[in-house]
Each structure stands twice: as structure tokens, then as C-alpha cells.
Amino acid sequence: MKNKKFLAGEETGTYIVPEQVTEADILDMALKLARGRLSKGRKIEQPSSAFSYLQTLMHEYEHEVFGVLFLDTKHRVIRFEELFKGTLDAASVYPREVTKRALELNVAAVILVHNHPSGDPEPSESDKRITHRLRDALSLVDIRTLDHVVVASEGCVSLAERGYL
């Protein structure tokens, strides 16, 4: 990943940069790296492998945002999209729109994701209900719902790991 001031790569180590790097530069690079990890063709072995990238992308929003990681038959990323934006503690999510977009992209599976601006990743009853509605709607057109991840500054919670899928 290139930045006007520094370069980030796969190799772990200490790097010397030619000029001053600000916190904003580092955060910008983290966002670029996270987007790159969720880019087309990347295989998601298990939903938890995407947690840190999803958290980097979504944990600082001041309002709820609902997104979908669209995957092919081999669980490679087709695209990550933020589909709905809401208020401080809720976002209206429409199964029809999620299903429509999944069909447009010809996906085989999805990982649902949304943030909790409060910082607490614990899923609400409303989160569980919309997960079931989306899973049911998508399954009608043979699209698997692999997980629903709640992202917050305090961490991520997988509804699949909790047994809610």
C-alpha cells in the first residue's frame, strides 16, 4: 500500500520513513489496508478472519451502518458494501434490498455486518430478529448467510458463534 509519506506491506518489521508521519496518515493507511483485505478475490476462510478489517472500517461511525460482505462459491470476496445508514442506535434494514443486491452481484454467500456506535458489540434482540429475517429471505434464493458480525470499538461479536444463525 502506498501513501504519500510511507509504504506498508506484508513484511513485519521496523521501517524508517523519510519524513514526519501524523496520526491521520497512519489511520488513513489502516483504512486502505482494511479495504485491501476485503477486496475482490480475497478468500474469507472464516468470518473471524475479517473481524479486524471490519472493525477498522466501521468502529468509529457515530451512527449505525449496516453492510454486507458478498462472497462467491469459494467464499472469496466479490465486494463489501455499506447498504444502510441509521441513527445513533438503529438502522432500518430491508431484506428485499439486501436480496436484490446479492442477486445483482450473483453471490453464493454473505456475511452481514453492522456497527454499534456505543462501543458495546453485544447483539440486541433487534439484531437477532433482522439476522433471521435476512437469513430466511436470502435462503429462498439459495444464498447462504455465513454470519452476522457486530462491530464496535470494544471488539466484534459473531452471531453465528453465539448460535443465533
Could you tell me the CA-to-CA distances from 123 to 44, 84, 89, 112, 149 in Å, in that order? 22, 18, 12, 13, 9
For the chain, the domains span: 1-37, 43-158
- Other C-beta atoms closer than 10 Å to the C-beta of 69 total 26
Q: Looking up cell 509504504, which residue turns up?
A: 7
Average pLDDT (2-18) is 59
The separation between CA 90 and the C-alpha centre of its own chain, rounded to angstroms, equals 17
Q: Angle at the Cα of 76 (from 92 to 12), degrees rounded to 5?
A: 105
* Count of positions (residues) in the chain: 165
3-state secondary structure of 120: coil
Please provide residue 23's backbone torsions phi and psi, each rounded to the nearest 5 degrees: -60, -40
CA dist 159 and 4 (Å) reads 39
- What confidence tens digit (pLDDT) does each residue in 59-92 have? 678 999 999 999 999 999 899 999 999 999 899 9
Task: Assign residue 130 a region (left: φ > 0; alpha: ψ between -120 and 50; beta: otherwise).
Answer: alpha
Superfamily of domain 43-158, CATH level 4:
Cytidine Deaminase, domain 2 (3.40.140.10)
Q: Whole-model pTM? A: 0.78
- What confidence tens digit (pLDDT) does each residue in 113-164 have? 999 999 999 999 999 999 999 999 999 999 999 999 999 989 899 999 999 9
pLDDT > 80? residue 23:
no
